[in-house]
Structure 1
């Protein structure tokens, strides 16, 4: 049986896993860090050639014998990034990323042109929030007018890697949801929101065709030779990193709640029909399996903990040991960790805040714990909206870098009052991309085990050594501190309204 590769082009790094479905295990993996260009105006950008060079480096680190057995590749990518191409397929400017808040004013302009946030939800299922792709178009028109004039194709990061691999242009519904233009109910573009973004040109002409989640496209022969892959290898539709992490954590049936703790923090669950909230309290996205993915996203997770670690002169790898003598609530120290602005709660101009400091509690350990707790309180703020809507969950499936921290696993279990399970494959997005490729190949072959829910149940295995159960005493302590979080959140909202 062939092998299946999953690529995750993230904000901080590119990760590659090679999965053997017969052995039910990862047989090789590689990772390479990525640079990030950050500006004081909230801009966060990367160059597309950085991604390509890093993907090449990852494949080069895999044994040639294994590369020669890869049957298909699935690509996961950070959502919302804007990759502009000209008519010849050349990249016109650096890619503005999901965590770029320099286009917040343009979000408001688009929504005003469309008739307000509520009208945007009526048209497409979502308001235009900070970081969504739509707002990056008017920003580019204002600040990179020559690039905008030559714009012929709009791509997202995972779309661009697919284009590099195959020479073909396409999008799939899950990642396309994060542009802000996709009507998630109809699974097609909203002409009204495209017109609100730019009334003077037909943006739909710049958008590639939308393909089904089980699509397979042949890899370019010359690139297959360069990467050491078979010329018969294919590339699956792929998707956004959250959509791929849903597959990689087995979140392809109702009732499963996945939490990803990485640069951003996310909570998401599967829905068999559009899950739109009239108040826009969650992102009403499509998933990358043919269903939908109601999702909560925060922009500051390991962003906050890494910043504290740098400030205090220690490595986040030593964070768990540092917190051994601390307790829930960080001895009264409370952080609102909105270092990059924030999406949940919706404060694109927000900044980090630290409250409750005393002469005795302001220690590196408490500061680090307060950053962790603050990141989870932000997710809790979104989780309550899902619960208010009637959704119920029996456990959390944790993925991302935070899943490897025993303190963060226990903190999530205690704060949410739910058991926490961790899949064996810690790179949920990359693994999910490999599983999507496996699923697409089996469907194309008419295999009997081509049902995705059955395939995920068979291949996504939980690691019992990493499970965490909630402790009632800690749950009560976090509940009290969370009430303080909400009080301070209400107090600072007016400071960052503009």
Structure 2
């Protein structure tokens, strides 16, 4: 048996997938949970050592012969997390995550120092937002200068796992574009933004070399092989951010489709052969991890919102669809703005959630859960309109993430967005995409002129039973609900973001 190993370092868990590309089947998968340290001020942090323990736990669940079959490894990781590392390879501080909003003061300061939001977009293609890595770097310098002066390397979560396994200190363009420090048009570090974030120069010296996505960055070291039970010398691809790997894992490597991920956060993205910069700043002008670009919308409250409401109402996972189906499309006028942990799009980092329109008919468990699901979907549906405004047209949505397991949610996405929804048989998303990127790297390193689009097409299959078309019977109800959602958001945004 020969396999490629995909690793996905998520927010709530770390997952490993061993894929036999000859038999075209996943022969083993395992995961280990992760916790997030949060507080009311917006902190959201994890310990890097917990990631390594989770990786060890997940891999040790896989039989030894399957681990030994790995001939290439690709790693996906949650975007934007800041891993400051000293010259000896020690992580200097807890890792601030993508959902950490405690850095808004740094966002405001960097934006002001740059000369405004428009100037930031001019320099990098992106505004500075609380979720991105750049303000986290300034936060460490402001709050822990003793640690900052020791920082020798800036890493992102998946970069750190690459480093632990292989010793490589590099970054690929996709994940790098989510730092807010990369000029996405030119695919290089923006000297003006880097200097603005840190005029002293330490940041500039700590940024890693940028490498192409089909690069072999190194091999599993003897120490890593012993700790994690992997074959010594196994080559590693660059890996990338979880959204970039999900693009590969859903076949979104050429124009014509959208990928929507219903995970802790919600994302919607497309493929482009050229940089797509949104002057309004709603769509992130990210690079992809295939050599192209990946315009993307991100929300911070997707299944996170439904999970909180499920806990409140004591609804189990197996009860989700039955509960939601107890209320009609549009939830009889109930509207939820699901900003439980602040929000990135719209840019409301200090926002809280709201429930509007309660009456004697819709104050039920079913209505509240459905309205939360619909609110999370409306927030992502905004991206469909924004991508269309920027010239990105699509004929279908490929759905992935935990929310895609719900038949009710799949149908709601199709109805709200007015597009057919496709679910793939290989529903591992980011971890499977990382495995396919590793296969691409392996074939390229062996001298084959492999194309990532051909690889994705060969290894991905549609699941007809879980794919759905829009239901015309819900169109009027959802049009009215969308109007209510937008009116509530426009009216309440100044009050929520305090």
TM category (shorter chain) comes to over 0.9
Partner of 2:271: 270
SS of the residue corresponding to residue 53 of structure 1 reads: helix
> Aligned pair 1:218/2:219, yes or no?
yes
The whole-number CA distance in structure 2 between the counterparts of 1:347 and 1:174 is: 25
Partner of 1:198: 198
SS of the residue corresponding to residue 62 of structure 1 reads: coil
Q: Give CA deviations for 1:235-288 in whole Å, capped at 9, x if unaligned.
A: 110000000000000000011210000000000011101111122120000000
TM-score (norm 2): 0.98
The whole-number CA distance in structure 2 between the counterparts of 1:160 and 1:396 is: 32
Map 1:79-478 → 2, pairs under 5 A: 79-216=79-216, 217-447=218-448, 450-478=450-478
Q: Give CA deviations for 1:188-236 in whole Å, capped at 9, x if unaligned.
A: 0001111111222341211111111011111112322333322231111
Partner of 1:54: 54
1:416–1:475 contact (8 Å) kept in structure 2: no
Residue 98 (structure 1) shift: 0.1
SS of the residue corresponding to residue 325 of structure 2 reads: helix
Residue 456 (structure 1) shift: 0.6
The whole-number CA distance in structure 2 between the counterparts of 1:201 and 1:349 is: 31
Structure 1 stretch displaced more, 263-272 or 138-147: 138-147
After superposition, the CA RMSD in angstroms is 1.1
SS of the residue corresponding to residue 45 of structure 2 reads: strand
Residue 395 (structure 1) shift: 0.6
SS of the residue corresponding to residue 434 of structure 2 reads: helix
Residue 484 (structure 1) shift: 0.7
Residue 497 (structure 1) shift: 4.8
Residue 382 (structure 1) shift: 2.1
2:78–2:242 contact (8 Å) kept in structure 1: yes
The whole-number CA distance in structure 2 between the counterparts of 1:285 and 1:185 is: 9
2:326–2:367 contact (8 Å) kept in structure 1: no
Aligned length, in residue pairs: 497
1:75–1:162 contact (8 Å) kept in structure 2: yes
Structure 1 stretch displaced more, 190-199 or 266-275: 190-199
The whole-number CA distance in structure 2 between the counterparts of 1:422 and 1:476 is: 25
The whole-number CA distance in structure 1 between the counterparts of 2:141 and 2:73 is: 35
Residue 303 (structure 1) shift: 0.9
The whole-number CA distance in structure 2 between the counterparts of 1:38 and 1:125 is: 30
Residue 99 (structure 1) shift: 0.2
Residue 315 (structure 1) shift: 1.6
Structure 1 stretch displaced more, 354-363 or 177-186: 354-363
TM-score (norm 1): 0.98
The whole-number CA distance in structure 1 between the counterparts of 2:16 and 2:240 is: 15
The whole-number CA distance in structure 1 between the counterparts of 2:385 and 2:106 is: 29
Partner of 1:10: 10
Moved over 6 A (4+): none
Structure 1 stretch displaced more, 84-93 or 432-441: 84-93
Q: Give CA deviations for 1:411-439 in whole Å, capped at 9, x if unaligned.
A: 00011111100111222000000000000
1:304–1:337 contact (8 Å) kept in structure 2: yes
2:283–2:295 contact (8 Å) kept in structure 1: yes
The whole-number CA distance in structure 1 between the counterparts of 2:326 and 2:114 is: 52
1:3–1:21 contact (8 Å) kept in structure 2: yes
The whole-number CA distance in structure 2 between the counterparts of 1:310 and 1:326 is: 19
The whole-number CA distance in structure 2 between the counterparts of 1:337 and 1:352 is: 5
